[in-house]
Chain A
Amino acid sequence: MNALSGEIFPAPPVVVPVRQRRPLGPGKPSRNGHLLGPGLLLLYWAVLSATGWLDPRTLPAPWTAVTAAAELLREGRLQTNLAVSAARAATGLLVGGAAGVLLAFLSGLSLLGGYVIDGIVQLKRGIPILALIPFMVLWFGIGEPMKVAVIAVAAFFPIYIQTHSALRAIDLRYVELAETLGLSRAQFLTRIIIPGALPGFLLGLRFGATAAWLALVVVEQLNATSGIGYMVTLARNYAQTDVMLVGLVVYALLGFGTDSVIRWGERHLLTWRRTLGA
């Protein structure tokens, strides 16, 4: 204690309680926090089924799905149909994604490409994918190529749009930097353009994967002889609500699982990003 201040200010110090200000940010994210919402929904469903509020003819209980799934697994129907569906979705996503990235780079990095490609894509965006199915059937038949093509088109748009807008949003200051450092075109592409567009591409991939599953559900109800959608359609004809439910749950798990895988990839590829949500 300073002697001087003691003489001039003899009053005892006033103790002011320190109020902890509530932080405005959302706080530290938990690792598996995104499981909470689905968990609560499952609980709600289980309670409704157990108490009899939910007629099993409307929607069977969650445990019915488990026993039905076990039965389907034992017969081998679930895994074979699942493999067919997953292969379809993956092929479509791969084809659509590759086309999306390629065209996004062509239109994002060259003026002429932008005028030609982006104009067409924006025009086509107005047509719902599912409205294209009659034409797809006309062009590709009702077999496997049509199914993959519809999924590819559905996955193409979000991947193209997000990658393209990420490319367009790359900071001009980095372009200046590349010029002053004398980077070659290849170095400019690999050091600045691709890493700069990666977050946008990954976001597009998430939307694209969701779109692919959605398209899968639709095309598998069209003259399919295999796949989860076929299994569900068959079950509907025999009013097997439990099998229909299994199909639904499988779709949900597939969508959720794909999204988790992509988000995991995002966390590892974009370690340099420090944002509110990451």
Chain B
Amino acid sequence: MSAPAVRIRDLVRNFTLKGVLNGVDLEIAPGEFVALLGRSGSGKSTLLRALAGIDHEAEGTGEIVLPQRTAVIFQDARLLPWMRVLDNVVLGQTGAEARRRGGEALAEVGLAGRERSWPHELSGGEQQRVALARALVREPALLLADEPFGALDALTRVQMHGLLRQLSERHHPAVLLVTHDIDEAILLADRIVMLDDGRLLASLPVVAWEGRLGELRSHLLELLGVG
């Protein structure tokens, strides 16, 4: 097996508003799609913020090894309102080449021709697709997504699931998707990881449950303490 894209060793985070981590070990293979499930306050977002390097407020120890090219998608699209769509996509990158690739990324998420729109002219789902294009254009080896579809309506969410699966199959980044939606995790992920009280509770390869997805679902519900 090749070297993992992501390696997390004994990660501890204290004093955060979004939950603590009590020694998390996790490896993600290149191109592997991992869904991170857990109740509110289980430390899902804390783990993701630690990986994204934006948890300045937290104190802790541990080791994180990440690929150079890492992209983050937040729950809100987080587009800069004063920049047109294409400028948002290529934010931080310069040159005509970047703009050309930005246009391609927009076409990939189905927003060709909307380069000159303002963010507020787009629907919520379209804005989140721009955020997806902004991540794609960086050709990430790791994609971190923090409940990216949580704020979308059910129909748009289904469309976004299809789009994300399509894009991850084409570009093959390692993905860590934080979600509280069991069905979303089963539908999209190669492996489902469950976090509880800042510890890894379970790591379930979805392929091992092929044909018994209903069972997997009840098992996950049980682990979440709902079943």
Known: A181-B91, A272-B118. A196 touches B82 (CB 8 A): yes
B91 contacts A180, CB within 8 Å? no
Give the contacting residue for B78; candidates A174, A271, A273; CB below 8 A: A174
Interface string of A245-278 (1 = CB under 8 A from B): 0000000000000000000000000111110000
Known: A180-B72, A272-B120. A195 touches B82 (CB 8 A): yes
Contacts of B120 in A (CB 8 A): 272, 274
Q: Could you tell me the distance between the alpha carbons of A192 and B92 in the complex, rounded to whole angstroms?
A: 11
A84 at the interface (CB under 8 A from B): no
Interface string of B144-172 (1 = CB under 8 A from A): 00000000000000000000000000000
A195: nearest chain-B partner, CB-CB: B82
What is the CB-to-nearest-CB distance from B59 to chain A, in angstroms, rounded to a whole number? 18
A191 contacts B83, CB within 8 Å? yes
What is the CB-to-nearest-CB distance from B72 to chain A, in angstroms, rounded to a whole number? 4
**How large, as a class, is the contact surface on chain B?**
20 to 34
Give the contacting residue for A173; candidates B70, B78, B82, B138; CB below 8 A: B78
Give the contacting residue for A272; candidates B70, B82, B91, B138; CB below 8 A: B82
Known: A191-B80, A272-B81. A181 touches B74 (CB 8 A): no
A71 at the interface (CB under 8 A from B): no
What is the CB-to-nearest-CB distance from A78 to chain B, in angstroms, rounded to a whole number? 42
What is the CB-to-nearest-CB distance from A175 to chain B, in angstroms, rounded to a whole number? 9
A173 contacts B76, CB within 8 Å? yes
Contacts of A198 in B (CB 8 A): 82
A183 at the interface (CB under 8 A from B): yes
Contacts of B227 in A (CB 8 A): none
A176 at the interface (CB under 8 A from B): yes
What is the CB-to-nearest-CB distance from B45 to chain A, in angstroms, rounded to a whole number? 12
Contacts of A80 in B (CB 8 A): none
Contacts of B223 in A (CB 8 A): none
A174 contacts B80, CB within 8 Å? yes
B29 at the interface (CB under 8 A from A): no
A173 contacts B91, CB within 8 Å? no
Known: A191-B83, A272-B118, A274-B120. A179 touches B53 (CB 8 A): yes
List 21 interface pairs A-B (beta carbons < 8 Å), by A numbering. A173-B76, A176-B52, A177-B78, A177-B80, A179-B52, A180-B53, A180-B54, A180-B70, A181-B91, A181-B138, A183-B91, A183-B92, A187-B92, A191-B91, A198-B82, A272-B81, A272-B82, A272-B118, A272-B119, A273-B81, A274-B118
4 closest A-B pairs by CB: A180-B72, A195-B82, A181-B92, A272-B82
On B, residues with C-beta under 8 Å from A are 52-54, 70-72, 74, 76, 78, 80-83, 91-92, 118-120, 134, 138
Known: A180-B71, A272-B81, A272-B118. 8 other contacts (CB 8 A): A173-B74, A173-B76, A174-B78, A174-B80, A179-B54, A187-B92, A195-B82, A196-B82
